[in-house]
Amino acid sequence: MSLLFYISSAVAIVATIMVITRYHPIHALLYLVVSFLAIAVVFLSIGAPFVGVLEVIIYAGAIMVLFIFVVMMLNLDKVTSEQEKTWLKPNVWMGPALLCIVLLGEMIYLLLQRGDNVSNIAVVEPKSVSVALFGEYVIAVELTGFLLMAGIVGAAHIGKHKKRNLHRYLTEEPERNMPEPQREAETINT
Amino acid sequence: MFSHFRTMWLVFLHLFRKKVTIQYPEEKVQLHPRYKGRIVLTKDPDGGERCVGCYLCSAACPVDCIALQATQDENGRRYPEFFRINFSRCIFCGFCEDACPTYAIQLIPDFEMGEYKRQDLVFEKEDLLINSQGKYPGYNFYKVAGMDAGVKQKGHGANEELPVDVHSLLP
Amino acid sequence: MSTAQHIWTVIGVLFVLLNIAAGLIWVERRLLALWQDRLGPNRAGPLGLLIVLADTLKLFFKEDWIPPFASKAIFVVAPAIVAGTVLISFVIIPFAPNIVVADLNIGLLFFLAMSSIGVYSIVLGGWASNNKYSLLGALRGASQMIAYEVFMGLSLMGVVMLSGSFNLGAIVEAQRDLWFVVTQPVGFLVFFIAGVAETHRLPFDIPEAESELIAGFHAEYSGMKFGMFFIGEYLGITLISAMTVTLFFGGWLGPSFLPPLVWFILKTFFFIGVFILLRASLPRPRYDQLIEYGWKVLLPLVLANLMITGAVALYLKDS
Question: Which residue ranges make up each domain of chain A?
Answer: 1-123
Q: What is the mean pLDDT of chain C?
A: 83
Residue C38 to chain B, least CA–CA distance (Å): 5
Residues in chain A: 190
Q: Which residues of A touch C115 (CB under 8 A)?
A: 61
A partners (3+ CB pairs within 8 A) are C
DSSP B14: G
What is the complex's ipTM, to 2 decimals? 0.78
Flag whether A touches B (3+ CB pairs, 8 A cutoff). no
Q: What is the pLDDT of residue A165?
A: 62
Answer left, alpha or beta for residue A47, where phi above 0 means left and psi between -120 and 50 means alpha. left
pLDDT in tens, A177-190: 555 555 444 455 44
List phi, psi (to 5°) of A116: -110, 60
CB within 8 Å of chain A, chain C residues 91-150: 104-106, 109-110, 112-113, 115-117, 119-120, 123-124, 126-127, 135, 138-139, 142-143, 146, 149
DSSP A132: I
Amino acid found at A140? A
Domain ranges of chain B: 31-139
Could B12 and C37 be called an inter-chain contact, meaning their C-beta atoms sit closer than 8 Å?
A: no
Residues 6+ apart with CB under 8 A from B151: B46, B48, B77, B140, B142, B143
- Answer yes or no: is pLDDT of A166 > 70: no
Distance CA A36, CA A55 (A): 7
Could B23 and C282 be called an inter-chain contact, meaning their C-beta atoms sit closer than 8 Å?
A: no
Residue B112 to chain C, least CA–CA distance (Å): 20
Which of C27, C37, C38, C193 is the best residue to mutate to test the B interface, defined by the most B CB atoms within 10 Å of its own CB? C37
Find the mean pLDDT for residues A3-9. 83
First to last CA, chain A: 62
Residue C159 to chain A, least CA–CA distance (Å): 15
Residue C27 to chain B, least CA–CA distance (Å): 14
Q: Which residues of B touch C39 (CB under 8 A)?
A: 19, 21, 23
Could A65 and C112 be called an inter-chain contact, meaning their C-beta atoms sit closer than 8 Å?
A: no
Could C281 and B20 be called an inter-chain contact, meaning their C-beta atoms sit closer than 8 Å?
A: no
In the three-class reduction of DSSP (H, G, I as helix; E, B as strand; rest coil), residue C99 is classed as: strand
Q: Are B33 and B109 in contact (CB under 8 A)?
A: yes
Distance CA C170, CA C305 (A): 22
CB contact B167 to C (< 8 Å): no
C partners (3+ CB pairs within 8 A) are A, B
Please name the helix (run of DSSP H) or strand (run of DSSP E) that holds residue A34, with its range, or none: helix A25-45
Picking from B8, B10, B20, the nearest residue to C38 by CB comes out as: B20
Q: How confident is the model at residue A143 (pLDDT cuts 50, 70, 90)?
A: very high
Residue A160 to chain C, least CA–CA distance (Å): 13
Find the mean pLDDT for residues C57-86. 84
Distance CA A112, CA A127 (A): 33
B vs C: CB pairs below 8 A: 33
Residue of C nearest to A44 (CA): C106
- Please give the distance of CA A8 from its chain centroid, rounded to a whole number: 20
pLDDT in tens, C239-253: 899 888 888 887 777
pLDDT in tens, C167-177: 888 888 888 87
pLDDT in tens, C173-207: 888 878 887 888 888 888 888 888 888 887 888 77
CB contact B147 to C (< 8 Å): no
Q: Which percentage of chain A shows pLDDT scores above 90?
A: 7
Picking from C83, C100, C82, the residue whose alpha carbon sits closest to that of residue C92 is: C100
A vs C: CB pairs below 8 A: 71
Picking from A30, A37, A62, the nearest residue to C146 by CB comes out as: A62
Q: Are C69 and C127 in contact (CB under 8 A)?
A: no
Q: What is the pLDDT of residue C12?
A: 83
Picking from A53, A69, A72, the nearest residue to C113 by CB comes out as: A53
Residues 6+ apart with CB under 8 A from B101: B52, B54, B56, B141
Could B15 and C38 be called an inter-chain contact, meaning their C-beta atoms sit closer than 8 Å?
A: no
Residue B25 to chain C, least CA–CA distance (Å): 11
Residues 6+ apart with CB under 8 A from A9: A38, A42
Residues in chain C: 319
- Please give the distance of CA A88 from its chain centroid, rounded to a whole number: 22
Cα angle C208-C212-C217, degrees, rounded to a multiple of 5:
30
Could B8 and C34 be called an inter-chain contact, meaning their C-beta atoms sit closer than 8 Å?
A: no
Residue of C nearest to A57 (CA): C113
Cα angle B105-B109-B115, degrees, rounded to a multiple of 5:
85
Residues 6+ apart with CB under 8 A from A49: A43, A123, A124, C104, C105, C106, C109
In the three-class reduction of DSSP (H, G, I as helix; E, B as strand; rest coil), residue B126 is classed as: helix
Picking from C38, C277, C278, the nearest residue to B21 by CB comes out as: C38
Q: What is the pLDDT of residue A190?
A: 44
Picking from C6, C44, C3, the residue whose alpha carbon sits closest to that of residue C26 is: C44
Greater confidence (A129 vs A164) lies with: A129
Q: What is the pLDDT of residue C132?
A: 82
Q: What is the pLDDT of residue C181?
A: 79
Distance CA B160, CA B154 (A): 9
pLDDT in tens, A98-127: 898 899 898 888 877 765 555 566 777 777
CB contact A68 to C (< 8 Å): yes
Q: Which residues of C touch B11 (CB under 8 A)?
A: 35, 277, 280-281
Picking from C256, C272, C260, the residue whose alpha carbon sits closest to that of residue C94 is: C260
Which of these ranges, A28-32, A56-60, A174-178, has the smallest mean pLDDT? A174-178
Q: Which residues of C touch B14 (CB under 8 A)?
A: 34-37
Residues 6+ apart with CB under 8 A from A55: A36, A39, A40, A43
Q: How confident is the model at residue A171 (pLDDT cuts 50, 70, 90)?
A: low
- Answer yes or no: is pLDDT of B115 > 80: yes
Residue C199 to chain A, least CA–CA distance (Å): 15
Q: Which percentage of chain C shows pLDDT scores above 90?
A: 0
Picking from B7, B19, B23, the nearest residue to C37 by CB comes out as: B19
Task: Please report, to the nearest 10 degrees, the dihedral formed by the alpha carbons of residues B92, B96, B97, B103 taken in order.
Answer: -150
**Secondary structure in 3-state letters for A168-188:** HHHCCCCCCCCCHHHHHHHHH
Could C280 and B7 be called an inter-chain contact, meaning their C-beta atoms sit closer than 8 Å?
A: no
Q: What is the mean pLDDT of chain B?
A: 85
Flag whether B touches C (3+ CB pairs, 8 A cutoff). yes
Q: Are B73 and B64 in contact (CB under 8 A)?
A: no
Q: How confident is the model at residue A76 (pLDDT cuts 50, 70, 90)?
A: low
pLDDT in tens, B134-152: 888 888 888 887 777 777 7
CB contact A124 to C (< 8 Å): no
Whether the ω angle into residue C300 lies within 30 degrees of 0, i.e. cis, is: no
Please determine, looking at this structure, whether the domain spanning B31-139 carries the CATH number 3.30.565.10.
no
CB within 8 Å of chain C, chain B residues 100-119: none
Residue C186 to chain A, least CA–CA distance (Å): 23
- How many Å is the maximal CA-CA distance in chain C? 68
Picking from A118, B7, B135, the residue whose alpha carbon sits closest to that of residue C279 is: B7
Q: Which residues of C touch B23 (CB under 8 A)?
A: 39
Answer left, alpha or beta for residue B78, where phi above 0 means left and psi between -120 and 50 means alpha. beta
For the domain with range A1-123, which CATH number is right: 3.40.50.1100, 3.50.50.60, 1.20.120.1200, 3.40.50.740? 1.20.120.1200
Q: Are C249 and C97 in contact (CB under 8 A)?
A: no
pLDDT in tens, C131-144: 888 888 888 888 88
Cα angle C296-C297-C303, degrees, rounded to a multiple of 5:
95
Residue of C nearest to A70 (CA): C139
Distance CA C81, CA C120 (A): 7
Picking from C71, C106, C153, the nearest residue to A126 by CB comes out as: C106
